Amino acid sequence: MSGHVLRVGNIEVIELLDTPMAFPFEAFFPQQGPQPFEAYRQLYPGAYSPDGRFQTYAQAYVVRAGGRTILVDTGVGPGPHDWLGGARGRLVDDMQEKGVRPEDIDIVVFTHLHGDHVGWTLQYEAGSPRPTFPRARYYVPQADWDFFTDPSRVGQWGTDRTIVPLKDLGALELFSGEVTLADGVTTMPTPGHTPGHTSILLASLGERALICGDLAHHPAQVDQPSWVPAFDTDGAQAAQTRSRVLDMLESEGLVAVFCHFPVPGFGRVVRLEGRRVFRAL
């Protein structure tokens, strides 16, 4: 592996950074607050901002497998974003700098429909939406479609502008359960963060990796899976899923990919001095 590229057998994963983000620990993890995170600062310096906030990142991944090019999530979007102090996403620029053009993307698959994962899906010209990745089919977890397009929630996360128009544009594919997107690329339901939250399992030539989406946000959660961020829709289910999948990642030795962990988010879940840790590749 070199830098932003991970190889899993014949599959290639390219990390894309849309933007760094920082939030007060007490806002993101209201049940814990900042204090318990101190014990993990030395282990994960990239997950703490200089002013003591939770330093995180909006990343997405291009997966090249079996002749297909798949984009996993589309970041926070172009912005500028008031909720990020005016930051602008640069996912499409980063993609092109790393050798992938928007028209190369065959499939966009969403781990879930929160605003930091769907932002570059559509672009608007004179009020009309068009897909940013013009050739792609857009795979949306059915349970998230149902949840986030419910009239009571559709405005909350902006899905009325970022996701719902995909239907009329004829680019939408709703899916449930395990679906094969390309040779060695399969969706895996990991609900809790959202009802349809999905991880992407990669398998090739005896090697395996899991793109975990928002299964965890801060690497301290690898050791403390019961720490639940404010944004987990069902906190108890999310903690249970997190525990189960982390057990699998540790016992089966998969490479784990976490889009909110320090760039590029590639690592392994291992035991070190009695703690379970995320060892970055």
The footprint of Zn ion (CB under 5 A) covers 116, 214
Nearest-angstrom CA–CA distance, 280 and 171? 36
Least distance in Å: CB of 18 to Zn ion? Answer: 11
Q: Which residues contact 73 (CB under 8 A, 6 or more apart)?
A: 60, 61, 109, 110, 111, 117, 118, 213, 259
Q: Give the integer Cα–Cα distance in Å for 233 and 193.
A: 5
User: 207-211 and 180-182 as β-strands: parallel, antiparallel, unpaired?
Assistant: unpaired
Contact 279, 74 (CB under 8 A): no
Select from 73, 91, 243 the least CA-distant residue to 163: 73
Contacts 24+ apart (CB under 8 A), 275-281: 275/223, 276/222, 276/223, 276/246, 276/250, 277/43, 277/219, 277/222, 277/223, 278/44, 278/219, 278/222, 281/1, 281/6, 281/255
Q: How far is the CB of 160 from Zn ion (least distance, A)?
A: 19
User: Which of residues 94 and 116 has its CB atom nearest to Zn ion in the complex?
Assistant: 116
CB 120 within 8 A of CB 77: yes
Q: Closest approach of Cβ 229 to Zn ion, in Å?
A: 9
Closest CB to Zn ion among residues 116, 144: 116
* Whole-angstrom distance, CA of residue 26 vs CA of residue 54: 9
Nearer to Zn ion, 263 or 270 (CB): 263
Nearer CB in complex with Zn ion: 4/193: 193
Looking at the Cβ atoms of 23 and 133, the one nearer to Zn ion is 23
Residue 83 region by backbone torsions, left for phi larger than 0, else alpha for psi between -120 and 50, else beta: alpha
Strand 68-72, strand 107-109: pairing: parallel
Shortest spacing between CB 194 and Zn ion, in angstroms: 10
Tokens of 200: 């992407």
Smallest distance, Zn ion to C-beta of residue 64, A? 23
Residue 117 DSSP class: S
Nearest approach, Cβ of residue 260 and Zn ion (Å): 6
Query: Least distance (Å) from Zn ion to the CB of residue 142?
Result: 19
Smallest gap from Cβ 116 to Zn ion, in A, equals 4
